Copies of this chain bind each other. A is one copy, B any other.
Amino acid sequence: MLVMGIVERKSRQKQALRERILEAARRIVMREGFAALSMRKIADAIEYSPATLYLHFASRDEIAQALCAEGYAQLLETFVPLARIADPAERLRALGRAYVAFGVAHPQTYRLIFMEDPSYTGAALGGMAAAGTGVSGAATAETGGVDEAVAIPAAGTAVAAAAAGTTATGTTAPGTTATVSPASGKTNLAPAKSDDDPGDASLRIMTSALEELKAAGRLSASMDVVVWAEAFWATLHGIVALNLTCPVFPTVSLDTVVGVALDAWLGPKAAVHSPGVTESSRARKKKSADASAESPIEPDGAATKSQTKSQTQSATKSQTKPATRPKATRA
């Protein structure tokens, strides 16, 4: 039974190196963007030869997907505490603000998981995919189809599991699925929702809030929850994405834009109907940026926005078109 221990030690060592690889990869992505991630750079960073990496990951892509999984878990994590907010509308507001704050705080991570490659983005959204399996037919337009009747306990379980396995800095959770294929290994993996998928869990947090909103009569009964949720998400994503890509996007403060968007979807604080409002309460105006506690945050490691811009840019290009830089050689 001694060999057992040796085997385990070796296994631990192997795991440890795997961690180091991911850690280095994560740092590179955060500093220089995903496009600048190369096997060589990782190898240099951990002071191993490139060949060694292939003993732990079959390809660069597999590393990328592992990073994505981390990113999703990290995002989900920021949602978890907010799921306890009693009022569903306020909960959705908080989720929205947290979502944007996350994107702005971790631009490269956000880019990686939501703006880079469809296969990366799709990896953690298996649940949605399974539900709305078709491409864009008028399939689930009725009112159900997806997880209309999800109970919050289910979401809570999944959330807790995902959150537990992930540290605050985003280290890979042992239980987190790193590759795509063996999706769960926990419950059924083929047909419906994979149940411990971060994307799914987030979706459930949102839809359950929406269900409550609807049940409370604050959302038009005729509104399809899924449609609303997707449009709402798109709005948030648009704000983040533009902010990351368009140099001049929020001409005004980001908080202000987010506030207006939340008002548009949830009403200026009071009761909600279609996505409408009771027109009385507009004493708030654009001062809706009161929850500014979570907005001025340190970016991934890239400093403030204008810096992030040029930095990201040069970094990106240094890999998209890595070659030559002959001016440095020549001039």
Q: Which of A2-10, A17-25, A81-89, A112-120 contacts B (4 or more CB under 8 A)?
A: A112-120
Interface hits, A112-147 → B, CB 8 Å: 114-119, 121-122, 125, 128-129, 131-132, 135-141, 145-146
Number of copies of this chain that the complex holds: 2
Q: Are A118 and B227 closer than 8 Å at their CB atoms? A: no
Q: Are B227 and A313 closer than 8 Å at their CB atoms? A: no
Q: Which of A163-171, A176-184, A186-194, A266-274 contacts B (4 or more CB under 8 A)?
A: A266-274
Q: Is A241 an interface residue (CB 8 A)?
A: yes
Contact with B along A54-71 (1 / 0, CB 8 A): 000000100000000000
Find chain B residues with CB under 8 A from A222 CB: 282, 285-286
Dominant SS among interface residues on chain A: helix
Q: Are B309 and A118 closer than 8 Å at their CB atoms? A: yes
A-B contact pairs, 8 of them (CB 8 A): A114-B246, A226-B251, A231-B235, A231-B264, A234-B249, A237-B241, A264-B275, A268-B276
Q: Which residues of A contact B (CB under 8 A)?
A: 35, 60, 114-119, 121-122, 125, 128-129, 131-132, 135-141, 145-146, 220, 222-224, 226-228, 230-231, 233-239, 241-242, 245-254, 256-257, 260-261, 263-265, 267-268, 273-279, 282, 285-286, 304-306, 309, 312-313, 316-317, 319-321
